[in-house]
Every structure is written in C-alpha cells, then in structure tokens.
Chain A
Amino acid sequence: MDMSKGKKILGFLSLLSLTILLLVAVDSLPKRGLPDAPAHQVINAAGNTGAGAYFIQSAYEDAATPNMVTVVLGDYRSFDTLGEVVVVFAAAIACYLILRRREDEEK
C-alpha cells in the first residue's frame, strides 16, 4: 500500500476493472425478486430439493418453530452459527492478545 503515484494509478485501474467486471456480472444475474430464480427453486438443477424451498416447507415440522431463520440458524446450519460464535470469541481473544497489558506496566 505504498502510495506512490504509479501504484495509485494501478490501484485505480484495478478498481475500475473490478467495477466493470461486477457490472457485467450483475447484468447476467436473475432479475431481482423473481420467484423462480435458481436460488429459490424447489427442485434444483441437480435434481435435489432446493435448500431454500425445503426450509420454507419443513422448518415448522422439523423444529416446531415458526421463525424459519431461527431454525436454519440453530439447526439446519448450526455449524455456521457455531463458527459465528467462535468468530466473536476469536475477536475477543484477538483484542485481548493485541491490547491487554500487564498489570505492572499499567501502574
């Protein structure tokens, strides 16, 4: 991140190319709010039940909980959530490791 002029120009160019890439990519995405976009399919291209559709249909039967997000969070994808908790814990530990000082230094 040495901000010499050449590098700055190079950075702007790469940012520009990223912008173009994203705009082109975004153009091919399914239209917003389309109910039959691949992400919402009941049967997906592989012939399996689509995850999103399955969650809507069976969350209540599987966990007796109306809030689907909670069920996905706490049950279907609880490993992600575990990771999330570990991330918070990791952040706490990181701040501890970075900032906490010895008692005698602080006196």
Chain B
Amino acid sequence: MSDLLEYVQDRYAYWAIVLLMIIGLYGMLFKNNLHKKVVGMIIFQNSMILLFVTAAFKWDATVPVRDPEIDVQVVENYLNPLPHTLMLTAIVVGVAIVGVAFALLIKIYDNYGTIEEDELLNKLESPSPEDDGDCDTNDTQRSSSPKGGSA
C-alpha cells in the first residue's frame, strides 16, 4: 500500500500535467468558439511549461540565485536553471502566439461577424460574392478586370 502511495506521490504531478495537456488540446480541437480555442492553447502551453519546470525541480534545493552561504559546487543545492531559462523563452513565445491568435480572431470577426466555427464554416462554404475580392487591397477593380495591371 505504501508502495502505491509512494508511486502516486512520485507521479501525480506528471498526471496533472498530462490531464491539463489533454484539456488544452480538447479545447483547441473541439471547442466551437475561437476564443475558447485560444484558451485551450494557453492551457496547453502552460502545461508544457509546467513539465519543464518539474524537470528542473530537485528536492531540497534552493532557487537558482547564488547564495554565498550555499556552496555552488554542490550541484544538488540549486535547482537546474536551464529549464527555467527555456521556459522563460517559451512563455514569451506563447504570449506572442496568443497575441497573433487574438489579432486573427478580431480580423475574422471583422470579416464575418462571428467567431463560432460552425457558422464560419457555413459562411465559407457558401461564399458571398465579395469574398472573392481581395478584401484588403485597394484595387479590387484592377484585379477583377482582365486588362488591368500596370505594365
């Protein structure tokens, strides 16, 4: 029994991470609302970061800031700073992607007036005539007329 307890004690953090990952992936893949997809993405990325931080963890070690009192030559005294650094980068990457995701989402709302995926798919399948134009260009006339274009 105590073996089992020990086993659980060793693993439960990993299980929580896996659970979070799956929740996040579920949100990204199966949620209908694009906002929710982004939420899923945030959860997913954070669970990934959590895994790395767990990898850096050592029992009875202190934070990776040099304390003159604690010998740096004994590696067991300090947490591994490498995954921490990596995850700083990963967090920033994550927020950048979230920013772009929101920007795209806003653009979709501007174009279609909805951010529900099923409605979007309906609109994509029956495109309105103006969909064919280049919505952001300033010369729809030019690209639609066969004689257009500059020499």
Interface string of B74-107 (1 = CB under 8 A from A): 0111101111111011001101110110011011
Task: Report Cα–Cα, A51/B85, bound state, in Å.
Answer: 12
Look across to chain A and name the residue whose beta carbon is closest to the beta carbon of B21: A22
B103 contacts which of A57, A77, A98 (Cβ < 8 Å)? A98
* Chain A, 27-43, CB within 8 A of any chain B CB: 27, 29, 31-35, 37, 39-40, 42
Look across to chain A and name the residue whose beta carbon is closest to the beta carbon of B71: A57
**What number of residue pairs across chains A and B have CB atoms under 8 A from each other?**
150
On whether the beta carbons of B65 and A68 are closer than 8 Å, the reply is yes
Q: Number of A residues contacting the other chain (C-beta, 8 Å)?
A: 52
On whether the beta carbons of B96 and A87 are closer than 8 Å, the reply is yes
Q: Which of B6-14, B126-134, B143-151 contacts A (4 or more CB under 8 A)?
A: B6-14
Which of B17, B32, B78, B95 gathers the greatest number of chain A CB atoms within 10 Å?
A: B78
> What residues on B are CB-neighbors of A102 within 8 Å?
138
B57 contacts which of A1, A12, A32, A66 (Cβ < 8 Å)? A32
With A32-B14, A91-B96, A91-B97 as given contacts, are A40 and B58 in contact (CB-CB < 8 Å)?
yes
On whether the beta carbons of A35 and B76 are closer than 8 Å, the reply is yes
**Any chain A CB within 8 A of the CB of B112?**
no
Give 6 closest A-B pairs by Cβ, nearest first: A91-B96, A52-B80, A66-B66, A68-B81, A33-B59, A26-B14
Q: List, sorted by A's number, 22 A–B pairs whose CB atoms are closer than 8 Å.
A: A18-B25, A19-B22, A22-B22, A23-B18, A26-B11, A26-B14, A32-B10, A32-B57, A33-B57, A39-B55, A39-B56, A53-B80, A56-B78, A56-B81, A57-B72, A57-B73, A66-B66, A67-B65, A68-B65, A88-B96, A94-B100, A99-B103
